[in-house]
Amino acid sequence: MQENRLKLSTKLGFGIGDIGGNAMFMIVSMIIPAFLADTLGLIPILAGVAIWVARIWDALIDPIIGPISDRTQTRLGRRRPFLLIGGIFTLIVMSVMFFNPHFDTATEQTGLFIWATAMYCLLCTAYSLFNIPYGALTPDLSDNFREQTSLNSWRMGFAVIGTILTAVAFIPIRDIFSPDESVDKSLGYWITGTIFGALIMGVTLITFFTVKEKKPESAPDRSIMDVLRSFLRVLKNKPYRIVLLTYAINLAGITLISSTMTLYFKYIYHNESGSAIALGCLLLMTVLSIFGWNPVIKRIGKHVAYAIGLFIIAGIAVITFFMAPMFDQVFMYIMMGIAGIGMGATYVAPYAMIPDTIEYEQTKSGKREEGAYYGLWTFFAQTGQALAGLLWGFVLQVGNFVAPIVNAAAHKNAATGTQAPETITALRLLLGPLPAVFLVMAGILVLFYPINEKMYKEIMARKRA
> Given this model, what pLDDT does residue 1 score?
39
Q: DSSP code of 105?
A: T
Q: Can you state the percent helix, strand and coil of the chain, rounding each to 5?
A: 80, 0, 20
> Mean of the pLDDT values across residues 131-138?
80
- Cβ atoms within 10 A of the Cβ of 380, count? 19
- The CA radius of gyration of the chain, in Å to the nearest whole number, is 22
**Does the pLDDT at position 258 exceed 60?**
yes
Q: How many helices (H) and strands (E) does the chain have?
A: 18, 0
CATH 1.20.1250.20 for domain 224-465, yes or no, is yes
Q: What is the DSSP string of 170-224?
A: HHHHHHHHS-TT-S--HHHHHHHHHHHHHHHHHHHHHHHHH--PPPPPPPP---H
Residues of the chain with CATH 1.20.1250.20: 1-211, 224-465
Closest residue by Cα to residue 392 from 44, 68, 43 = 44
d(CA 42, CA 165): 27
> Given this model, what pLDDT does residue 384 score?
93
User: Which amino acid, 165?
Assistant: L
395 with 271: CB under 8 angstroms? Answer: no
> Mean of the pLDDT values across residues 307-314?
97
DSSP element (H, E) containing 114: helix 109-135
> Given this model, what pLDDT does residue 76 score?
83
253 with 312: CB under 8 angstroms? Answer: no
Closest residue by Cα to residue 204 from 24, 7, 8 = 24
Closest residue by Cα to residue 199 from 55, 22, 65 = 22
**Does the pLDDT at position 222 exceed 70?**
no
d(CA 78, CA 61): 18
Ranges 36-40, 51-55, 369-373, 406-410: which has the least confidence = 406-410
**Does the pLDDT at position 65 exceed 90?**
no
84 with 76: CB under 8 angstroms? Answer: yes
Mean pLDDT over all residues of the chain?
Answer: 86
The pLDDT tens digits for 175-209 are 899 876 566 789 999 999 999 999 999 999 999 99
> Given this model, what pLDDT does residue 395 score?
97
Q: What is the DSSP string of 321-381?
A: HHHGGGS-HHHHHHHHHHHHHHHHHHHHHHHHHHHHHHHHHHHHHS---HHHHHHHHHHHH
> Given this model, what pLDDT does residue 125 score?
93
Q: DSSP code of 39?
A: I
> Given this model, what pLDDT does residue 5 score?
79
> Given this model, what pLDDT does residue 2 score?
42
CA angle 170, 172, 178 (to 5 degrees): 105
DSSP element (H, E) containing 107: none
399 with 422: CB under 8 angstroms? Answer: yes
> Mean of the pLDDT values across residues 204-228?
74
CATH 1.20.1250.20 for domain 1-211, yes or no, is yes
324 with 257: CB under 8 angstroms? Answer: no
% residues pLDDT > 70 (the chain) = 89
pLDDT band at 149 (very low <50, low <70, confident <90, very high): low
